[in-house]
Amino acid sequence: MSKVHSTQTHHFQAEVAQLLHLVTHSLYSNPEIFLRELISNASDACDKLRFEALNQSELYESDPDLAIRITLDKSKKTLTITDNGIGMSEQEAIDHLGTIAKSGTKDFMSRLSGDQKTDAQLIGQFGVGFYSGFIVADKITVESRRAGVPAADGVRWVSNGTGDFTVERIDRPARGTSVILHLREDAEQYLNAWQVKQVVNKYSDHISLPIQMLKEVWQDAKEENQPGQMVTTDEWETINSASALWTRPKKDVSDEQYTEFYKHISHDFHAPLAWTHNRVEGATEYTQLLFIPAKAPQDLYYRDSQSGLKLYVKRVFIMDSAEQLLPNYLRFIKGVIDSADLPLNVSRELLQESRDVRAIREGNTRRILSTLEQLASSENTAEQEKFATFYAEFGAVLKEGLGEDTSNRDKIAKLLRFASTNSDSVTRSLTDYKAAMPEGQTAIYYITAENFAAAKNSPQLELFRKKGIEVLLMTDRIDEWALGFLTEFDGTPLQSVTKGAVDLGALQDDEEKKAAEAAAEQLKPLLEQLQETLKDKAKAVRITTRLVDSPACLVQDQNDLSPQLAKMFKQMGQDVPESKPILEINPEHALVKRLESQARTAKFDDLAQVIFDQAMLAEGEVPADPVAYLRRVNALLLG
Binding-site residues for ATP sit at 37, 41, 83, 88, 102-104, 125-130, 177, 348
Contact 183, 137 (CB under 8 A): yes
Rounded Cα distance between 498 and 583, Å, is 11
Q: Please identify, using beta-carbon distances, which residue of 53 and 615 lies nearer to ligand ATP.
A: 53
CA distance 429 to 434: 9
Closest contact distance (angstroms) between CB of 120 and ligand ATP is 18
Residue type, 233: T
Nearest distance in Å: CB 633, ligand ATP? 58
What's the min distance (Å) between Cβ of 160 and ligand ATP?
17
Binding site, by residue number, is 37, 41, 83, 88, 102-104, 125-130, 177, 348
Smallest distance, ligand ATP to C-beta of residue 312, A: 18
| Helix H or strand E encompassing 232 | strand 229-238
d(CA 602, CA 370): 65
Phi, psi of 58 (to 5 degrees): -65, -15
Residue 483 CA to residue 489 CA, distance in Å, equals 11
Nearest approach, Cβ of residue 58 and ligand ATP (Å):
19
Residue with Cβ nearer ligand ATP (177 or 460): 177
In one-letter notation, the amino acid at residue 202 is K
How many helices (H) does the chain have, and how many strands (E)? 21, 23
Nearer Cβ to ligand ATP (143/613): 143
CB of 246 to ligand ATP, least distance (A): 19
Residue-wise burial string across 72-108, b where 16 or more C-beta atoms lie within 10 A, e elsewhere: beeeebbbbbbbbbbbbbbeebbebbbebeeebbeeb
Tell the smallest beta-carbon distance from residue 28 to ligand ATP (Å): 17
Spatial distance between the Cα atoms of 264 and 33, rounded to a whole number of angstroms? 12
Residues contributing to the site for ligand ATP (CB under 6 A):
37, 40-42, 45, 83, 85-88, 96-97, 101-102, 129-130, 177, 267
Task: Tell me which DSSP letter residue 445 carries.
Answer: E
- Least distance in angstroms from the C-beta of 183 to ligand ATP: 19
Residue 415: closest CA among 399, 400, 404: 399
Distances (CA, A) of 225 to 220, 221, 222, 228, 345: 10, 8, 9, 9, 63
Choice between 101 and 217, CB closer to ligand ATP: 101
Residue 155 or 483 with smaller CB distance to ligand ATP: 155
Q: Which residue is nearest to ligand ATP (CB)?
A: 129
Nearer to ligand ATP, 46 or 526 (CB): 46
Residue type, 613: D
499 vs 447: CA distance, rounded Å: 9
User: Nearer to ligand ATP by C-beta: 85 or 308?
Assistant: 85
Q: How far apart are CA 95 and CA 227, in angstroms?
A: 50
Nearer to ligand ATP, 267 or 334 (CB): 267
